[in-house]
Chain A
Amino acid sequence: MSIHELLSAGQRDRIQGLELFARQVVEGFCSGQHRSPHKGYSVEFKEHRPYVRGDEIRSIDWKVFGKTDRIYIREFEEETNLKATLIVDSSGSMAYAGQRVATTKHHYATQLAAALAYLMVGQQDGVGVATFDTQVRDFLPARSRMSHLQAICSVLQKRSPGGETELSHVLGGLAKKLHRRGLLILISDCFADVPTLIRALTHFRRAKHEVLVFQVLDPDELDFPFSGRIRFRNLELADDHEEVDAAALAEAYRKNFREHQRQLRDGCGRCRIDHVLMTTDMPVADGLASYLATRRRLA
């Protein structure tokens, strides 16, 4: 499985032109576009400052000393690569594909994850991936090699949706694996208890991770366009169904959904987490481009 199977050529071209700028400087082993809080011996000079006792002798800029007879310390700004982890929801609810869009949410999420991975690897950033339903099913730590991108795509492609969503449990388990600060990208429909989800994400924020939430929904789940007698069969739980008059319940559903979204949006806002709603009728690249453009403006 390769990136070419997940993304079309056009999508790949558009993604290559994108740049993902991390809002925060993250730690990395390689120099790159991301500024590191660590000053060291890098290619880009930052400033001179007067010597103070305790500074390393090797940091003294002897040329300046020779010209000015003053001891200055030469400081460089070091660039490091981004280390991002894609957390992709593979629960049963992600298997839904509406009548208007044939793509399942899971497939859309996979495409989105692949696009992000491709983008980051192209930027020499490290990227890892985790899939989950009730627990973490696959986990690849972050790497920046192109060969790693193939591994990511392979993991995403082979995972099929199923099982219930247990976001809080899953995020708790991932927190133990991600020791260094980085970028955490959750791709899910977020059909979970919002306070619990927000609590789990807050835990990452406290560990200085930047968190992005891409909420992937089918348009049907937004406007509930159904009518007549419908048996709704639960995608996450076998033998669980409800036979309802859809038209009679539509308004109540929409009300509940709006309330859920409001809680999610507010919770993310409070934790300075970007919440990006993407529907499956929206091309992945367009949605991503729109988000990144917005992010660049705000950066």
Chain B
Amino acid sequence: MTLLNGLLALGAMAFTIPLVIHLLFRNRFQTLDWGAMRFLRNVVEQNRRRMQLLNWLLLLIRCLIPIFLAFCLARPIVTGWRQPRGDEPVALAVVLDNSYSMTARQEERRDRFAVAVETVRAIAGSLARGSEVVLLTSDGMGRVTDPAGIDSQLDQLRPGGGPFELDTLLGKAIGVLSQSAMANRQIVIVADHTASGFTQAMLDGLPAIRQRIASVTPTPEVVWVDLLGESPSPFRNLRIHSVESEANYAVPGQIVPWMIEAKVDGPAPEKVEFRMRVNGQPSERRTEIVRDGTARAMIPLTADQVGRQVVEVEVAAVSDPQRADWTDDFPPDNRFAVPLRVLEPVEVWLVDGHPTDKPLAGDTDYLTIALSPFATSSTAAGVSPADLFRPRKVRFGRLAETQAAGEWPAVVVLADVARPSAADSKWLVDFVQNQGGTLVVFGGPSIDSQWYDQNLIDDQRVPLLPLRFGEPRTSVAGLAIDETRLTYPPLSLFGTREKGTLAGTSFHGWLEMLSRGGTTDAPADLPPNAPPNAPPNAPPNASADGQAGGAENSTAAAADPAREANVVLRLEGGQPLMAIGASGLGRVLQIASTSNEIWTTLPLRPAFVPLMQRLLLHLSIDQDAGLVATAGEPLVLTGVAPDGEWSVSTPDNKSHRFKPETSLVWTDTSQAGAYRFESPSGEVIWSAVRVPDADLKPAVVDRETRELAAARLGATLHDSLDEYLAADASRRFGRGIWKYLLAALVIAMVLEPVVQQYRSRH
């Protein structure tokens, strides 16, 4: 404890005055010879103890009064056992949560982020001159600056920095502070504690972080500012529940219907408006009535321009002039972006091993129907179905000749072709390895396995087929497909029974498929690179879309050219049924069974159409890895040359110019919505940024969990900014207790006459 006015504390010696008076008067009394002692004695006995107690109490109060007064004037400061750092500069690392969950509104209708920014400003403003501040957010780390410089960084900061990962940010903070020259170091965590960030793994990892912090010398002090205020009651939240479309791919002129469902938590508005934007431009809008907290709309959009497009769906409450405005307490989940790729129909050449004019008698007839199911259908009202593929039957032995008359196809399918000619073989190798085409080889009873193995594997410098064909095998009872390993993205859809499965498909015949080394060892399965049941275009809480063409952005690793072969589908006995391999620039899909009903019932199943469409589309078009990203993660656009200076338009309609280096990467993705990239040559690429699923849940963990986290981290938890500032002032300058002493003085001064009166009366 220190005293600001230490000399005044000497006034406390005045306590000796009543003490001396007491001692002086203690032996000063009048002596009286008295006869009626009998009337005094019992009274004295009864009152002696109480009077002594009262006398001592009175003496104590009288001594305390000058002591309280003196120390009150001396301004004592309690500092504990530590030396207060006073106005020494401090290195402060602010770990600020700028995830989308911070946009949730609190009781006073202010969002959490505004409160957080205000808090950081106040904290920075309270720092001593010469202090250093660094701002750490989910989407990056600001430069180290003085307290005044943090304002500009905060001005530029917006919610949407990605999920708040406390352990990661604390690791960065430790790194920054360990390099600081300041002796006083502090880490301040300003976050809203959403449940998605407080996983058990995160909690379990906090003690290790605490040890890391403790290992830094001087050890930074960790302070956790709990900004969470009360949520508005009731909490109103309008959100998009699901967005479903016929396909994520379309051909020019196709009308694609979009089924949109919005839900309302809490009291619902009477009407909501659905707004569609395509590539940032307003498109369709619908106003729907909310029933039972749900509103649905079906909005058709016409795909016009070829290329990558972003369809944004937004829902908003329609303000009713008769009623008070309905306020959405959590806006981020009102928008949802879906990629849409408009492309010219994919040219597919079908080479039939047994061409015939009889319907469905050829090897490619079922395939033709599967690839162009709308070729002969009528147009439904409001919907314009269009085929993504343009199948064309090419006679065996005329591949090179046919191509010479026109452009290269995207896909060539060999269906039970016994033995391609040498010219066709040479053309196929050139088509796959040099032109980047996709070759699909169906097996069948006519296949000359040795020829295929010899000419397309052994004789090639780069093998064309991923696996060798072996002996034909048959099963009278038939074998089903092993549905437990549907991890390949185009096939993952069929692992969901709600959308249709491959169950019931039976294979009575197939060709063995062996590794190219000639062993019978089963080739390796394709490692899962995407969750089989979570296509990336599914919005939160939405069911799988069930449409062909989904999950196209995460398949780059699927066609790993370094791998010899990837078996993507097996029969229940473990026999390989489908294998994918890369050869040169192209890819080859090798299927052990037939494309007609001779060996399998697959072409007769409804799932055959989406199965073949998804497979061929996935293999034949460039994948859009960067088409949709989550906020805070970088947008990486593949398939474009990062030359020259690009421009990007962000959802807030601001334009930025940047010069990509090795790849086209845009990191400032804090805003959800459509991003428009334009190359120096004028090519336009649209991408979308979504709010991370974790940030779409504004619910926070309970107080006990927050306290547990703070305890494990060794952090001091403060409930408000004022509490933090008071504690910080106490840490820096100690805690002034003159107010308490003043209160004690007043109490003593009131108590003294009370005790005096009581003593006199009793």
Contact = CB atoms under 8 A, between A and B. Distances in A.
B81 interface: no
Nearest to B36: A221
B461 interface: no
B36 A93 contact: yes
- Chain B contact residues: over half helix, strand or loop, or mixed? helix
Contact of A244 (B36, B38, B40): B40
B39 A248 contact: no
A248 B760 contact: yes
Contacts of A249: 40, 43-44, 47
Contact of B762 (A189, A228, A230, A248): A248
Interface string B37-54: 111111110110001000
A248 B760 CA distance: 5
Given A229-B29, A245-B51, A93 B40 contact: no
Contacts of B34: 96, 232-235
A96 B35 contact: yes
B759 A248 contact: yes
Interface string A27-48: 0000000000000000000000
A243 interface: yes
A260 B40 CA distance: 12
- Chain A contact residues: over half helix, strand or loop, or mixed? mixed
A25 to B, nearest CB: 38
B43 A253 contact: yes
Given A244-B44, A248-B759, A231 B35 contact: no
B37 A242 contact: yes
A286 B67 CA distance: 62
B35 to A, nearest CB: 3
A236 interface: yes
Nearest to B29: A229
A232 B37 contact: yes
A159 B33 CA distance: 19
Given A96-B34, A96-B35, A232 B40 contact: yes
Contacts of B36: 93, 96, 189, 191, 221, 253, 257
B32 interface: yes
Contacts of A140: none
A19 B51 CA distance: 54
A235 B33 contact: yes
Most buried by A among B30, B33, B36, B43: B36
Contacts of B44: 242, 244, 249
A256 B45 CA distance: 13
A182 B425 CA distance: 168
Contact of A253 (B32, B33, B39): B39
Interface in B390-415: none
A298 interface: no
Given A231-B30, A248-B759, A248-B762, A93 B35 contact: yes
Contacts of A92: 35
B117 to A, nearest CB: 67
B28 interface: yes
Most buried by B among A94, A232, A233: A232
Nearest to A247: B760
Most buried by B among A189, A235, A247: A235
B36 to A, nearest CB: 5
A199 B202 CA distance: 95
A242 B30 contact: no
Given A234-B37, A249-B44, A226 B762 contact: no
B31 interface: yes
Contact of B35 (A228, A229, A236, A247): A236
Instruction: Give the top 4 A-B pairs by smallest Cβ distance, nearest first.
Output: A93-B35, A229-B29, A252-B43, A232-B34
Interface of A: 92-96, 105, 189, 191, 221, 226, 228-237, 240-245, 247-249, 252-253, 256-257, 260
Given A233-B34, A248-B51, A257-B39, 9 more contacts: A93-B36, A221-B36, A233-B33, A241-B31, A242-B37, A242-B41, A252-B43, A253-B39, A256-B39
30 contacts: A92-B35, A93-B35, A96-B34, A96-B36, A191-B38, A221-B35, A221-B36, A228-B29, A228-B30, A231-B30, A231-B31, A232-B34, A232-B37, A233-B31, A233-B33, A233-B34, A234-B35, A234-B37, A235-B33, A236-B37, A244-B40, A244-B47, A247-B760, A248-B47, A249-B44, A252-B46, A256-B38, A256-B39, A256-B43, A257-B39
